[in-house]
Amino acid sequence: MAGPLDGIRVIEMVGIGPCPFAAMMLADMGAEVIRIDRVPTPGASNPFPALGTKFDTMARGRRSLALDLKRPDSREVVLHLCGRADILIEGFRPGVMERLGLGPDPCLERNPRLVYGRVTGWGQDGPLAQAAGHDLNYLALTGLLHEIGRDDTPPPPPLNLVGDFGAGGMLLAFGAICAVLEARSSGQGQVVDAAMLDGTNLLGTMIHGFRAHGSWHRGRGTNIVAGGSHFYDTYSCADGKYISIGAIEPQFYALLLRLCGIDDPAFDNQMDSTRWPDLKARIAAIFKTKTRDAWCELMAGNDVCFAPVLDLEEAPLHPQNVARRNFVEIEDVLQPAPAPRFSRTVAEIASPPAIPGQHSRAILEDWGVPEHLIDQAFKQSTAIGARSA
């Protein structure tokens, strides 16, 4: 059974970060996504050596067309493809696609129903629109990075999961599909402006509500879900490994105390934040008395809200991840499986990552590009990769 986006056609202008992640999500859900790759430049250095190989896991599930977009015939190829597509997504700085002659105006002129999805760090406008940045910078400007970590150390980089992928890639994919649904009723496409700054800010909605209510304390590492409380944090065990505890609700907290053998009245007033530092030190000492596996045997699978802190090698072997088939292996590369799950239109990974330009001629033929334009692109330059499948 095809995925839920079967029949949706997407053009991905290849970049790094959130745009390929969004394209991967769409492809995992059954959309036909073609990657417009750059023609490789001989001798050019590559700061991301996995790109263009089987380890480029976010490139899975789609075919690749290599073009030199500085050439007029290559731009004409892209515009022709836009005429057959539902969505185009790109992740360049504002103005780059316009300078290539492939901005929203010519693409929507070729196909008025096209959804033109754009993802940037700071957004398409504003004083920082043209500034460089990365995940950490966008998170910093929202005020949310300030709330992560301990009060005696600088805020730590929380990988690049928040801005790049949660706030950027997922927001772009969500926005693009929303616009496709709207276009089916209105007959009109539109531009989707997905900014990692905006998306990160949106992810902090609950925190802002708590702050307005007066229940979010000033000071990093002092709030319930920010490591301030003794019942919501990570702890070191006797073997140097770690566990996570999230016993917020009273009944879960009561179970935590029972399993830890705590009957000290000092722990009774769970939400007295003035006592949290002392209680945290006490419970940390208790967790140091057993190994991580011993705590797993005692707490795993019940309502204490517990999980061991696994490393990247351990996680695929955990019984819950095994049962959910959360990891798949493609060409000997272990990687996360598509999500979410659908009961009828099951999402599947269509293919391993493609070599840039691997499917160039096949894509052009399948998408109805005129033969003379295909021949022109092949004969006059190396604009289109010669490998096809």
User: Which pLDDT does position 372 carry in this prediction?
Assistant: 85
pLDDT digits (tens, 9 = 90+) for 157-167: 999 999 999 99
pLDDT in tens, 329-349: 999 999 999 999 999 999 999
Active-site residues: which are they? 134, 164
Nearest to 290 by CA among 245, 243, 229, 228: 243
How many CB atoms neighbour CB 239 within 10 A? 12
Euclidean distance between CA atoms 125 and 94, whole angstroms: 8
* 52-68 pLDDT per residue, tens: 889 999 999 999 999 99
Phi first, then psi: give them for residue 163, nearest 5 degrees: -70, -55
Which residues does 366 contact at the CB level (< 8 Å), separation at least 6?
Answer: none
Q: Going by DSSP bridges, is the β-strand pair 87-90/9-13 parallel, antiparallel, or unpaired?
A: parallel
| CA distance to 12, 61, 85, 329, per residue, from 347 (Å) | 19, 11, 21, 15
Average pLDDT over residues 25-50: 84
What radius of gyration do the chain's Cα atoms show? 25
What domains does the chain contain, in order, with CATH numbers?
9-203+328-380 (3.40.50.10540), 229-314 (3.30.1540.10)
Lowest mean pLDDT among 31-45, 93-107, 279-293: 31-45
d(C-alpha 149, C-alpha 135), whole Å: 17
User: E-strand spans in 143-281?
Assistant: 190-195, 232-236, 242-246
- CB-CB contact of 111 with 104 (8 Å): no
Question: What is d(CA 224, CA 206) in angstroms, rounded to the nearest whole number?
Answer: 13
Greater pLDDT, 83 or 2: 83
pLDDT band (50, 70, 90) for residue 387: very low
The reported pLDDT for the residue numbered 388 is 42
pLDDT at 380 over 70: no
- pLDDT, tens only, 225-267: 999 999 999 999 999 999 999 999 999 999 999 999 999 999 9
**Band of residue 45 on the pLDDT scale cut at 50, 70, 90:** low
Nearest in space to 200 (alpha carbons), one of 141, 158, 150: 141
Global pTM reads 0.93
Q: How far apart are CA 329 and CA 335, in angstroms?
A: 6
The larger pLDDT score, comparing residue 98 to residue 381, is at 98
Question: pLDDT class for 373, splitting at 50, 70, 90?
Answer: confident
Q: For the purposes of burial, counting CB atoms within 10 Å of the CB of 348, is it exposed (0-12), middle (13-18) or buried (19 or more)?
A: middle
